Amino acid sequence: MRRKPPPVPRVDRARGRSRHGRGHRSSVTGPELAPVTTRAEVFDRIVGDTAHYLVGLWPEELAGVVFQVADMPHDTSLPDALPRWRVDRVGRRVTVFRIPVERVTHSPEKDDVDRRIVVETAVFRAVAELIDKDPWDLAPDRYRHW
Question: How many degrees, rounded to 5, is the angle at CA 120 between CA 116 and CA 125?
Answer: 150
Average confidence (pLDDT) over 100-129: 85
Report whether pLDDT(81) > 80: no
Report whether pLDDT(98) > 70: yes
Question: How many angstroms separate the CA atoms of 115 and 108, rounded?
Answer: 11
Specify the pLDDT at position 142: 64
**What is the C-alpha end-to-end distance of the chain, expressed in Å?**
87
Higher pLDDT, 117 or 26: 117
Sign of CA dihedral 34, 35, 37, 42: negative
pLDDT per residue as tens digits for the range 83-97: 889 999 999 999 999
Using DSSP, state whether 67 is helix, strand or coil: strand
Report whether pLDDT(54) > 60: yes
Report whether pLDDT(23) > 90: no
Angle between helices 39-57 and 112-131 (to 10 degrees): 40
Contact 49, 119 (CB under 8 A): no
Contact 85, 95 (CB under 8 A): yes
Specify the pLDDT at position 10: 47
Report whether pLDDT(105) > 70: no
Report whether pLDDT(12) > 70: no
Report whether pLDDT(73) > 80: yes
Question: How many angstroms separate the CA atoms of 44 and 46, rounded?
Answer: 6
